[in-house]
Structure 1
Amino acid sequence: MKIVQVRVANFRGIAQGTVHFDGHSVLVGDNNAGKSTLLEAIDLVLGPERLSRRPVVDEHDFYAGQYVNAEGQPIPLVVEVIVADLNEEQLRHFREHLEWWDTSTKTLLAGPPVEGTDAAGVGPALRVFFRGAYDAEEDDFLGNTFFALPAPIGAGEYQTFRATDKRKCGFLYLRTVRTGSRALSLERGSLLDVILRLQDSRLKMWEQLLASLRVLPVADKPELGVTTLLASVQASVKKFVPSDWAEDPHMRVSDLTRETLRRTLTVFMGTGAKRPDGSSYAAPYQHQGTGTINTLVLALLSIIAELKQNVIFAMEEPETALPPHTQKRIVNSVREKSAQALFTSHSPYVLEEFEPSQIKVLKRAGGVMTAIPASLPPAIKPKAYKAEFRARFCEALLAKYVLIVEGRTEFDALPAAARTLSKTDPQHFKSLEALGVAVIDAKTDSQVAPLGQFFRSLGKTVFAIFDKQNEAQLALIRAAVDYPYESPMKGFESLVLQGAQETAIRRYALGVVADGDWPQHLMAVAPKAESDLAALRNALSQYFAWGKGSGQAADLLASCTSWREMPEYIAQCLYGIFQVIEPPPPPAPPAPPVEPIVD
């Protein structure tokens, strides 16, 4: 079973939106783009325990808090989910509610089953939905889940999609907060509780445990003072009520109900620390390291997957507090053990494990949410993507702003220059990392425009810094990116050497020689203290050509002590990017003239 379509209306920050899934997927986008909201919406429909909360929804679950219109009529909150690829057991269980899904058109076949159901890519599917609304008569928010078919007759109601039906779908939503607070508890809906339910294990410990706790002494020694205080309370109470009221007040460890114990019982685990007597010290599992907790969650998910055999996992940010190799292992393990895995992530290491078409870039504008599959970038062959471009592409997908440069030298040098300027003049400059700008190397100026158009289509704000172009190529770039910055000359290394101040060039060149990094085959032109500016530029030009792509131009820019030592073009570009992303506040209006006070 796999989710193929989710349609949301009037839920939290989403006024309306439809998202399609083709299997395993990872959701990316700006903060508040709707990634977590989309998973919450799916859980509202498919989560077996979700409707047990009271109230099911509240005022803040409706878009902009609007749950009634101007006439006082309720505005419904609706989430519809279509699932396909049903197994034999699911086909039998849901046989009265099936429709037909066409994977090529991403639509349901209209009308009753016809010959089109035999076409390639068409198969049975289940459409279910949640509907919530404000009930003025009850002065409460009500909601439930239903099968879309069969449609009700007359004033009838849709058939309820019950918790037992949902368990057949095998959907499990793992929120980030659940990892540390509920994973190994016995609360209803926790991972441990899910496993016990799947094993049809009825916990038979409650009566025995409650009987033990009822007689467990708690602060019953008089010298502790608690029993004396309670006796005084009882004596005071008996002045106002019959003698058999408030009889024998004493303390117990909890309310002594099953639900209280479900929330209270905690799994303890060894910490590796030893007590003075040599015994191992154990602590509650939520006090373990975050990485250990997440690994425990992965183990529980593996057990669930093995028990369910057909499970849909939705997981928020699997990268939390984990090193890159563990992030990759968790993602791959969850995918291997599930029919479908849906993730949200801000980690390029997680995104690297997915094909571009499996990465959904979410955007939300005016309450309308859209999802765009991140197809392979233009002119990037699959082999090259896997070998070198993948990490940078994934980083750009996670960023709101993208800077396209046309070579490796610029890729290294511009971030270095921005970092230096942010330290020397923080009022007018900021590092590209701090601004949230991802840098993409287009390799050649002919790819600046195609890449710019590609990233703009994904909703990114695109900057481009590039060599001087002919009129035709410049027009293409200007049409493709939001903020083009054309160099006054060809060749970035030449621009650096011609534009940097002599003090910076001399300091850097003599430093390379002093550090012993000057290559032997260029000793004839090695910079010296008495070298003039032309000789220094000539020497460094040969040095840059010898170490092309090794970051020497970036080192020169990083050695500058202020923007005045850098090429004016580079400083203007970086200042322009800073002004676009963090524009200064508008000037305050002039103060009104003060009228003189006349007696």
Structure 2
Amino acid sequence: MISRLRLVHYKGFNDFTLSLKGSSVIVGPNNAGKTTIIGAVRLCAYLINQAHSRKPDVLVFDETRDRKIPGFTLALPESQFTQENIRHEFRETETRLELEFTNRAKLFAVWPVEDDAYFYLEQLEGMPVRDKNAARQHFGSIGVVPTISPVEHREVVLTYKHVKENYNTRLVSRHFRNQIYHLRDREPDKYPDFVAFALENTPEIERCALNLSTTSGEPELDFFYRETSTHTEKEIYWAGDGLQIWLQVLFHIWRQPDASVLVLDEPDVFLHPDLQRRLVRVLEDVNSQVILATHAPEVLAEWSRESVVIVDRTKGKSRRVNDDRAFAKLNDALGSGFNLRLAKTLRSRVALFVEGTDMKILRNVAKTVGAHRFSKEKGLAVVPMEGYSKRGMSSAFGWLNESFLNNAVDVFVVLDRDYRSDQAVEQANAELKAFDVRVHAWKRKELESYFLEASTIARMTGLDLDTIESLLDECVQETKTDVLSRYLSERYHEEKGPKQHLVSTNQKYLPEFDTLWANQQWRRHAAPPKAVISALNEKLQEIGKKPVSARGISYAMRRDEVPAEMRDLILNVEQLLHTSHL
């Protein structure tokens, strides 16, 4: 298996090291270098195949490593590789690739400034490979699934040599029927195996067969399949692009069973989500290390966190996701059912993560302050988190946004403060900001706390302002015991350690709480608003008034009654939505 790839002054990379552990999914922003990395591995695959078939033909001197060693002339076919831009920023400096395997064998490919390019292999440090038998023993073959496109309308019979030589060129999809034809012609015992493999992994079809036609002059090939649902027989050209790509990908995976490594560059481009997830299941069954570059969230969701490798050519090395909980949340959100709300998020300009049903209330306030795009959710995807503990969903999406969408989506998360200290809130904010997530923790206990607004409630009930203020104060005072216990509990958990006891925590923070509770504004902001509104409604009903709710208050609020903190948050999101619309 491949353990490390180093690219030095190679194309878009100045000096970059990719570290792998088993099968790996390579992700990163657009223009991060994923395709260049896959191309470098493909190049190494070609060189290893060369070493498998011939012995070293030149004695080379590697100046960087200061050693003479038997090597090979490095000549690449133009149909498969472009060398014009192989030097980083077209600079006149040595370019090199270094590929290392888990058995400590290494391949070095070098493009000196003046001398001819060369490559050489070491089975161990300082022990060069001197013949093709040693190359085969220490370097397993690297299989490549080429970049696939839809098939041609017509396909005449071509020679086996021509078809095989173009397995890794842009012509590969033009030859799909020929590839199957020569399989059937040269290895008739294996042809049924491929058909069985294709049908097993493609339940949409129940039969497939290759036909040779000579009625129109040149012999032509047709590949027919029969749909499972309609029993209709069609030629593959009349299938959708997804099915055409899928069958080709299956063929190139199937034909390389002995490859120690299998490399794929975004094979999911034409595949719908079900086929993308199915592709992962197929790859899990192969006996090879899989190296797959992808942009597809569905593909990512099917792999374990340990398999995901993030690349960015502006950095010096690859990195991995270290947060199991965040990745688990990502898998939950993107998993086999593919959450439709998150699917919308991927197509939106702004993703807003809120707790519970907060958006129903925020939508009313948005209308009041003139944030029309926000209120109608135009370009806005709202993802409920169901509690503070689920904030990992937003960091997971922030990572997905950075890795896959080049930060094309602005990510906001709005958190309840509850009774967390300023330090705890700042720590949570920093964790989210590390994933390019904009975070806002309410200064009051939670969103509903902003709707204990006496002037609005007075207008809704027909009672005077002083009466409502008095009733609210009574209801808030009734929650003191509950607030105290939660306040002290939060402090205990924040400071919990081997020498920390509940009694000492209470002694330390009880005087602080008493001071805070003496402040009318603080206690109204800290009281549980649902309990306060419930108690208020009992008092209102006792005097013949209709009950109120946070949602109803949010609808009745006037613009000048909307707290500045909430108004500014909504308008900031609205501004982003307008900017993206221009």
Please report the TM-score for the alignment, with normalisation by the length of structure 1. 0.52
Superimposed CA distance per residue, residues 553-597 of structure 1 (whole angstroms, 9 cap, x where no aligned partner): 9xx89xx9x99999865553354357689989xxxxxxxxxxxxx
Task: Give, in angstroms, the shift of residue 59 of structure 1.
Answer: 3.1
| Residue 441, structure 1, aligned to residue 388, structure 2 | no
Tell me what 2:289 maps to. 340
Distance in 1 (CA, whole Å) between partners of 2:363 and 2:551 is: 21
Task: Give, in angstroms, the shift of residue 81 of structure 1.
Answer: 1.4
Task: Give, in angstroms, the shift of residue 416 of structure 1.
Answer: 11
Task: Give, in angstroms, the shift of residue 293 of structure 1.
Answer: 1.1
Is this contact kept in 2: 1:271–1:281, CA < 8 A? yes
| Residue 538, structure 1, aligned to residue 544, structure 2 | no
| Pick aligned residue for 1:292 from 238, 243, 253 | 243
| Residue 51, structure 1, aligned to residue 76, structure 2 | yes
Is this contact kept in 2: 1:411–1:441, CA < 8 A? no
Distance in 2 (CA, whole Å) between partners of 1:167 and 1:199 is: 32
1:364 alignment partner AA: R
| Pick aligned residue for 2:122 from 148, 154, 158 | 148
Distance in 2 (CA, whole Å) between partners of 1:456 and 1:332 is: 21
| Pick aligned residue for 1:301 from 230, 252, 258 | 252
| Residue 78, structure 1, aligned to residue 92, structure 2 | no
1:61 alignment partner AA: I
Indicate the SS of the match to 2:270.
coil
Tell me what 2:140 maps to. 169
Distance in 2 (CA, whole Å) between partners of 1:574 and 1:335 is: 45
Is this contact kept in 2: 1:78–1:131, CA < 8 A? yes
Task: Give, in angstroms, the shift of residue 356 of structure 1.
Answer: 0.9
| Residue 572, structure 1, aligned to residue 521, structure 2 | no
Distance in 1 (CA, whole Å) between partners of 2:567 and 2:439 is: 15
Superimposed CA distance per residue, residues 29-62 of structure 1 (whole angstroms, 9 cap, x where no aligned partner): 1111111111111111113499322695433232
Is this contact kept in 2: 1:405–1:411, CA < 8 A? no
Distance in 2 (CA, whole Å) between partners of 1:53 and 1:272 is: 39
Change (3 A) 1:420 1:78: farther
Indicate the SS of the match to 2:268.
coil
Indicate the SS of the match to 1:293.
helix
| Residue 471, structure 1, aligned to residue 470, structure 2 | no
Which runs of 5 or more residues in structure 1 are unaligned? Answer: 69-74, 85-123, 137-141, 204-212, 219-252, 254-264, 274-279, 506-521, 526-533, 543-552, 585-599
> Could you tell which deviates more after superposition, 471-480 or 399-408?
399-408
Change (3 A) 1:476 1:34: same
| Residue 320, structure 1, aligned to residue 294, structure 2 | no
Change (3 A) 1:324 1:268: same
Distance in 2 (CA, whole Å) between partners of 1:472 and 1:358 is: 34
Tell me what 2:22 maps to. 23
Task: Give, in angstroms, the shift of residue 360 of structure 1.
Answer: 1.3
Change (3 A) 1:267 1:376: farther
Superposed, 1:276-425 pairs within 5 Å as: 285=236, 288-305=239-256, 308-365=257-314, 368-378=315-325, 405=353, 407-410=355-358, 424=372
Task: Give, in angstroms, the shift of residue 127 of structure 1.
Answer: 1.0
> Could you tell which deviates more after superposition, 354-363 or 188-197?
188-197
1:45 alignment partner AA: C
Change (3 A) 1:397 1:168: farther
Change (3 A) 1:439 1:350: same
Is this contact kept in 1: 2:366–2:570, CA < 8 A? yes
Change (3 A) 1:198 1:147: farther
Distance in 1 (CA, whole Å) between partners of 2:311 and 2:359 is: 27
Tell me what 1:32 maps to. 31
Is this contact kept in 2: 1:477–1:484, CA < 8 A? no
Change (3 A) 1:23 1:449: closer
Change (3 A) 1:386 1:296: closer
Change (3 A) 1:311 1:540: same
1:538 alignment partner AA: S
Is this contact kept in 1: 2:268–2:276, CA < 8 A? yes
Task: Give, in angstroms, the shift of residue 445 of structure 1.
Answer: 6.4
Tell me what 2:503 maps to. none
Task: Give, in angstroms, the shift of residue 21 of structure 1.
Answer: 1.4
Change (3 A) 1:386 1:282: closer
Tell me what 2:91 maps to. 67
Is this contact kept in 1: 2:348–2:379, CA < 8 A? no
Indicate the SS of the match to 1:337.
coil
Task: Give, in angstroms, the shift of residue 17 of structure 1.
Answer: 1.1
Distance in 1 (CA, whole Å) between partners of 2:360 and 2:151 is: 40
Distance in 2 (CA, whole Å) between partners of 1:386 and 1:453 is: 10
Superimposed CA distance per residue, residues 156-202 of structure 1 (whole angstroms, 9 cap, x where no aligned partner): x986989x9599733223344456579x9825242768889999949
Sequence identity (%): 15
2:140 alignment partner AA: C
Distance in 1 (CA, whole Å) between partners of 2:372 and 2:345 is: 30
Is this contact kept in 2: 1:462–1:481, CA < 8 A? no
Tell me what 2:473 maps to. none
Task: Give, in angstroms, the shift of residue 455 of structure 1.
Answer: 5.3
Is this contact kept in 2: 1:27–1:345, CA < 8 A? yes
Is this contact kept in 2: 1:11–1:63, CA < 8 A? yes
Is this contact kept in 2: 1:57–1:132, CA < 8 A? no
Indicate the SS of the match to 2:21.
coil
The number of residues matched between the two structures is 413
Task: Give, in angstroms, the shift of residue 333 of structure 1.
Answer: 0.8
Distance in 2 (CA, whole Å) between partners of 1:374 and 1:487 is: 29
Change (3 A) 1:18 1:315: same
2:356 alignment partner AA: R
2:357 alignment partner AA: T
Task: Give, in angstroms, the shift of residue 476 of structure 1.
Answer: 2.1
Distance in 1 (CA, whole Å) between partners of 2:299 and 2:312 is: 20
Is this contact kept in 1: 2:349–2:379, CA < 8 A? no
2:84 alignment partner AA: E
Tell me what 2:199 maps to. none
Which runs of 5 or more residues in structure 2 are unaligned? Answer: 51-74, 189-213, 461-533, 538-544
Distance in 1 (CA, whole Å) between partners of 2:566 and 2:166 is: 56
Is this contact kept in 1: 2:361–2:550, CA < 8 A? no
Tell me what 1:115 maps to. none
Distance in 2 (CA, whole Å) between partners of 1:331 and 1:463 is: 31
Is this contact kept in 2: 1:146–1:159, CA < 8 A? no
Change (3 A) 1:309 1:424: same
Task: Give, in angstroms, the shift of residue 63 of structure 1.
Answer: 1.8
Task: Give, in angstroms, the shift of residue 340 of structure 1.
Answer: 1.4
Change (3 A) 1:336 1:497: farther
Distance in 1 (CA, whole Å) between partners of 2:270 and 2:401 is: 32
Change (3 A) 1:448 1:55: closer
Task: Give, in angstroms, the shift of residue 22 of structure 1.
Answer: 1.4
Task: Give, in angstroms, the shift of residue 444 of structure 1.
Answer: 1.3
Is this contact kept in 2: 1:404–1:448, CA < 8 A? no
Tell me what 1:96 maps to. none
Change (3 A) 1:581 1:81: farther
Distance in 1 (CA, whole Å) between partners of 2:297 and 2:367 is: 22
Distance in 2 (CA, whole Å) between partners of 1:415 and 1:340 is: 49
Please report the TM-score for the alignment, with normalisation by the length of structure 2. 0.53
Is this contact kept in 2: 1:403–1:439, CA < 8 A? yes
| Pick aligned residue for 2:379 from 431, 454, 465 | 431
Is this contact kept in 2: 1:406–1:448, CA < 8 A? no
Is this contact kept in 2: 1:45–1:145, CA < 8 A? no
Change (3 A) 1:76 1:417: farther
Superposed, 1:489-504 pairs within 5 Å as: 489-493=444-448, 495=450
Task: Give, in angstroms, the shift of residue 462 of structure 1.
Answer: 6.7
Distance in 2 (CA, whole Å) between partners of 1:298 and 1:160 is: 34
| Residue 188, structure 1, aligned to residue 165, structure 2 | yes
